[in-house]
A and B are shown apart, each in its own frame.
Chain A
Amino acid sequence: MSRIQESVIIRTVVRIMVPFIELFALYVIMHGSSGPGGGFQGGVIFGAAIILYAMIYGIAEGKKKMSDALDKILASTGLTIYAGTGLLCLFFGGMFLQYGAVPLLPDNPAKVAALLIDLVEIGIGTTVAAVMISLFFDVSPPESEEGELPGYEGVD
């Protein structure tokens, strides 16, 4: 465990900040259709919150919150939501991701489109967050030498 990870201030701030970062990520995902942001950015921010937690509390602790199996499940679930929404439009006689074809509310197709766009954004966000977290877990060093940055100490 490195010196940074033992700092009470950093541990406390991270513990308090992570839920708010995740809430902001959900806000960015849900407002992707009406403002800046979207599934990709929200997913990256959500992944960054978990990565921040794993960086400070240790990779093992992070993997308790987000195991490899859960990563795989979430990554494929998001892809299924995205493709499923597109195929739903195909099923009702439209083109791929042609939201207006779905006869959910026949008198208000714009509302259906807004709903399905949000669904697609949720799918993208889920996949991106899971892939970002698994990328970090894959490249991060094993627990024993974590935070050491070999070759950096004694450079200057």
Chain B
Amino acid sequence: MIWVLDITMLLFLVVCAIAAISIKDLLSAVIILSGYSLIMAIVWVEMHSVDVGFTEAAVGAGITTVLFIATLARTEGRSED
């Protein structure tokens, strides 16, 4: 465990999470969520959980983003609240 890397990654994680829920443009929120997943995957690998990190990178950063964007193309694309 490299604690400087861990602290940096966890800080990025919190920033991404807050940005994803507070931003109004939903496409930006989806992309930020994809970045969140990528950082989360790095954190998993850093914690020696390669299998979970692999799944997080493939599902969280890959498929989920594509499905969200495809859904977004059928809806308004902006949050009202």
Whether B73 lies near A150 (C-beta < 8 A) is yes
- B 27-80 contacts with A by CB, 8 A: 27, 50-51, 54-55, 58-59, 62-63, 66-67, 69-78
- B 7-34 contacts with A by CB, 8 A: 25, 27
State the main secondary structure of chain B at its contact with A.
helix
Whether A48 lies near B76 (C-beta < 8 A) is no
The answer, yes or no, to whether A132 is at the interface (CB within 8 Å) is yes
| Residue count of chain A within 8 Å CB distance of chain B | 28
Determine, out of A66-74, A75-83, A139-147, the stretch whose residues face the partner at the interface.
Answer: A139-147
Given contacts A41-B54, A41-B55, whether A149 and B63 have CB atoms under 8 Å apart is no
Give B contacts to A, CB under 8 Å: 25, 27, 50-51, 54-55, 58-59, 62-63, 66-67, 69-78
Give A contacts to B, CB under 8 Å: 28, 36-38, 40-41, 44-45, 47-48, 51, 55, 132, 135-136, 139-141, 145-152, 155-156
Q: In the A-B complex, list the 6 residue pairs whose CB atoms are closest, starting with the nearest.
A: A151-B77, A36-B50, A151-B76, A44-B58, A141-B73, A140-B70
